[in-house]
A = this chain, B = another copy of it.
Amino acid sequence: MLKPNPIHLIHVKPACEQCRVRELCLPTNLKSQDLSLMDKLVVRREPLAKGEFLYRAGEKFKGIYAIQDGAVKTYGLTVDGREQVTGFHISGEVFGLDAIDGEVHPCNAVALEKTEVCQIPFAKLEELSMEVPELLHNLSRIMSREIMREQHVLLMLGGTSAEQRIARFLLNMSQRYADQKLVSDRFRLCMSRQDISNYLGLALETVSRQFSQFQERGLIDIQNRYVQIKQFSLLKQVAQ
Contact = CB atoms under 8 A, between A and B. Distances in A.
Interface stretch (A97-105, A185-193, A215-223): A97-105
> How many copies make up the complex?
2
A45 interface: no
Contact of A151 (B76, B79, B159): B76
A32 interface: no
Interface residues of A, number: 47
Contacts of A137: 126
A216 to B, nearest CB: 24
Majority-rule SS of A interface residues: helix
A84 B159 contact: yes
Most central of A85, A99, A142, A151 by chain B CB within 10 Å? A151
A151 to B, nearest CB: 5
Contact of A86 (B76, B79, B155): B155
Interface in A128-150: 129-130, 133, 136-137, 139-148, 150
